[in-house]
């Protein structure tokens, strides 16, 4: 299980249901990593998309038992979400090598944290204004890859970082 997220230096990951920055390279990386894989997300994250993202399964973890939406596979517990993600889907987007991505929001990351094996993190080097925060990751995580990028115009500097548990 892999979490994928962008986080500002001050812990901000969102503002008003969206990202507080626009980094095209981060969006391209998200697409490349998640393409063909099931993604677990909360309802608000799913609702932030204009439409379901092509080539990926959208497993939505929600407490609302009446909620449903086109393109969403609904789960009401962590175990249900994992079972759905491990089962073959009917969307044409099958899991590759068993990878399941957790894509947010903050509450979903917290729920899935004990089961994560890897984190694909974009460190956004700024103190962003936002209403959704994610604390720094604990000592059980080890950095195994990093690629740094400089600021460009209004875009802040950022780094693509891979963290693995207990290496």
Closest of 163, 113, 157, 160 to residue 134, by C-alpha:
113
Spelled out in words, what is the top-level CATH class assigned to the domain 2-91+101-128?
Answer: alpha beta
The pLDDT tens digits of the residues spanning 121-143 come to 999 999 999 999 999 888 999 99
Q: Do β-strands 38-42 and 57-61 pair in parallel, antiparallel, or remain unpaired?
A: parallel
The pLDDT tens digits of the residues spanning 9-41 come to 999 999 998 899 999 999 999 999 999 999 999
**What local confidence, expressed as pLDDT, does residue 138 receive?**
87
CA 84, chain centre distance (Å): 17
Q: Is the dihedral of CA 60, 133, 162, 156 positive or negative?
A: positive
């Amino acid at each position: 299980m892999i979490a994928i997220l962008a986080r500002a230096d001050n812990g901000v990951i969102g503002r008003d249901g969206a990202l507080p920055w626009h980094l095209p390279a981060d969006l391209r990386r998200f697409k490349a990593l998640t393409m063909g894989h099931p993604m677990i997300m909360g309802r608000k994250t799913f609702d932030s998309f204009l439409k379901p993202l092509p080539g990926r399964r959208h497993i939505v973890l929600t407490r609302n038992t009446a909620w449903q939406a086109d393109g969403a596979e609904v789960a009401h517990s962590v175990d249900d979400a994992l079972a759905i993600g491990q089962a073959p889907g009917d969307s044409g987007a099958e899991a590759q090598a068993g990878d399941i991505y957790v894509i947010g929001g903050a509450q979903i990351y917290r729920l899935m944290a004990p089961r994560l094996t890897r984190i694909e993190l974009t460190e956004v080097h700024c103190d962003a204004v936002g209403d959704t925060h994610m604390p720094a990751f604990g000592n059980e995580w080890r950095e195994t890859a990093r690629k740094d990028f400089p600021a460009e115009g209004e875009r802040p500097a950022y780094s693509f970082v891979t963290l693995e548990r207990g290496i």
